[in-house]
A and B are shown apart, each in its own frame.
Chain A
Amino acid sequence: MKNKLPPNVRVFAVKTRFQEMAQRPGGVPRDIAIQQAETGIESFKTEFVDWVGRELQDLTQALRKVEGDQAEKAQIDEIHQRCRQLRDTGTTMGLALLTFIADNLCRVLEAVQSGASYDTEVIECHINALFLAKQDAYRNIRPDQVPEMTSGLHRMLERANRSLPDKTG
């Protein structure tokens, strides 16, 4: 038996212009479209490295605004947003080490947003690692090729998580 709809609920079909147009024949075939997109991304790599350089400078500036260990929510949000961008674009652009460091820093900042103390040393350590990962010699390196760095950063994250307020009590 069909369910009867309440009188204030309307259900209707929508055929958007996007659907009409996207289903037209003559589009770029799937495999070629994906290949073209990948080639396009590859051509951005040099531009990406320049952008990362500018982002790291901006990130450093944003961190300088934080006085001592007293970070305001808006400052953390801004730093976090920049880190997320580095992580998200870094993966797409194939810079594995940079992505790993940015991801670790995002986790640290998420801990800070959840109440962990803002530890300047932990943040600066990540920023230095990001600057290193941007350099030519490290650009194509995977995290597992620099185990000392990765385990050091993991320890930094653990340190941040340890300072989270205990919610069990």
Chain B
Amino acid sequence: MTAADQKPRSLKNASVNLRDLTILIADPGTFMRRVVYGMLRGFGANRILEAGDAAGVLSALMQQKVDILILDAKLPPQDGLAVTQAIRRNVDNENRTLPILIMTSDAQQLTIREARDSGASMVVAKPMSPTTLYDRLVWIAFDRRQFIDCPTYFGPDRRFKIEGYPTGVGRRASDKSIEVSDATEPNLEQDDIDSLFQAARAGQNE
């Protein structure tokens, strides 16, 4: 059994070992890159690359094996989501399944959905704290989602929302373990419930 096969009981206090992993930070802001660099160094990372635009990202990916890409959603000239899509859709790219963490200042539902549809592994809202970034990295490290390859999409399975965020990662103590949406239909009347049970019991007795 390898270390990667060991699943921690809870990710709340899980640690990640970033030593010797090549991490590429791509953000147009020099100081934002500096901040993320500083955080990663604090986490123990020792191989950190930087890029300020899409060309820099693609060039870095061609020159070496990158282990994780931390990418701004608004990376010029198009945007980080287009870069994500380009990485995922290129069948000749050995970095095709690379974990991609999208940073966005605009954490609206539409942006999150677009990031997910582009093939991002995870999204983190800016401004971010060291705790948030660390938790996202833990999440990606222990993420067991499969990849989907179909004519319209290549990337991590997008149907993970139903399971919620892994226990303990980035959640508030007051959060529910499962998000419950509003009722879309009227509740059943007691008579309806009784008749359903009667039918079920009748079925059992047959």
Bound-state Cα–Cα, A144 to B151, Å: 52
Instruction: Check if A28 sits within 8 Å of B126, measured CB to CB.
Output: no
Instruction: Check if A81 sits within 8 Å of B34, measured CB to CB.
Output: no
Number of B residues near A (Cβ < 8 Å) is 57
Instruction: Check if B134 sits within 8 Å of A30, measured CB to CB.
Output: yes
Instruction: Check if A37 sits within 8 Å of B127, measured CB to CB.
Output: no
Instruction: Pull 16 A–B residue pairs with CB atoms less than 8 Å apart, ordered by A.
Output: A9-B149, A10-B149, A18-B67, A19-B141, A19-B143, A27-B18, A29-B15, A30-B134, A33-B134, A34-B42, A38-B130, A40-B38, A41-B39, A85-B32, A92-B127, A92-B128
> Chain B nearest CB: distance from A157 CB in Å?
17
Bound-state Cα–Cα, A13 to B97, Å: 10
From the candidates B44, B74, B142, B148, name the one contacting A11 in the complex (CB within 8 A). B148
Instruction: Check if B31 sits within 8 Å of A22, measured CB to CB.
Output: no
Instruction: Check if B32 sits within 8 Å of A89, measured CB to CB.
Output: yes
Instruction: Check if B146 sits within 8 Å of A12, measured CB to CB.
Output: yes
Q: Which residues of chain B have a CB within 8 Å of any CB of chain A?
A: 2-4, 6, 13-21, 28-32, 34-35, 38-44, 65, 67-68, 74, 76, 97-99, 105, 126-131, 133-134, 137-138, 140-143, 146-151, 157
Instruction: Check if B99 sits within 8 Å of A18, measured CB to CB.
Output: yes
Kindly name the residue among A14, A43, A51, A92 whose own CB sees the greatest number of chain B CB atoms within 10 A.
Answer: A92
Given the known inter-chain contacts A10-B149, A81-B74, A92-B35, please indicate yes or no for A21 contacting B42, CB distance below 8 A. Answer: no
Docked complex: A10-50 residues within 8 A CB-CB of B: 10-30, 33-41, 43-44, 47-48
> Chain B nearest CB: distance from A14 CB in Å?
5
Instruction: Check if B30 sits within 8 Å of A87, measured CB to CB.
Output: no
> Chain A nearest CB: distance from B120 CB in Å?
14
Instruction: Check if A28 sits within 8 Å of B43, measured CB to CB.
Output: yes
Bound-state Cα–Cα, A44 to B33, Å: 12
Which residues from chain B contact A168 at a C-beta distance below 8 Å? Answer: none
From the candidates B15, B18, B97, B150, name the one contacting A9 in the complex (CB within 8 A). B150
> Chain B nearest CB: distance from A150 CB in Å?
19
Which residues from chain B contact A14 at a C-beta distance below 8 Å? Answer: 97, 146-147
From the candidates B16, B38, B151, name the one contacting A8 in the complex (CB within 8 A). B151
Given the known inter-chain contacts A23-B17, A40-B39, please indicate yes or no for A10 contacting B2, CB distance below 8 A. Answer: no
Nearest residue in A to B23 (C-beta to C-beta)? A18
Bound-state Cα–Cα, A29 to B129, Å: 17
A84, CB-defined interface residue at 8 Å: yes
Nearest residue in A to B69 (C-beta to C-beta)? A18
Which residues from chain B contact A10 at a C-beta distance below 8 Å? Answer: 148-150
